[in-house]
Amino acid sequence: MKAVDPAWAVRSPGAPPSIRIWLRPWQAGLDSLKELATVMRAGDTDRIVTLSRSASGRPILHEPSGHVSISHTGTLLALAHADSAVGVDCEMRRRERPWLEWAERYFAPYEQGAVAEAEDP
User: Cα dihedral sign for 42, 43, 48, 53?
Assistant: positive
Query: Quick one: 49 and 70 in the same domain?
Result: yes
Residue 119 lies in a domain: yes
Phi, psi angle pair for 102, to nearest 5°: -65, -40
- Distances in Å between the Cα of 71 and the Cα atoms of 3, 28, 91, 110 are 15, 13, 9, 37
Q: In terms of residue numbers, what domain contains 110?
A: 94-121
What pTM does this model have?
Answer: 0.55
Does 68 lie in the same domain as 10?
Answer: yes
* Residue 88 within any structural domain of the chain: no
Residue 89 lies in a domain: no
Across the 121 residues of the chain, what is the mean pLDDT of every consecutive 10-residue run? Answer: 45 62 77 75 70 81 79 83 83 74 86 81 56
Total domains present in the chain: 2
Do 34 and 57 belong together in one domain? yes
Q: Distance of alpha carbon 32 from its chain centroid, rounded?
A: 13
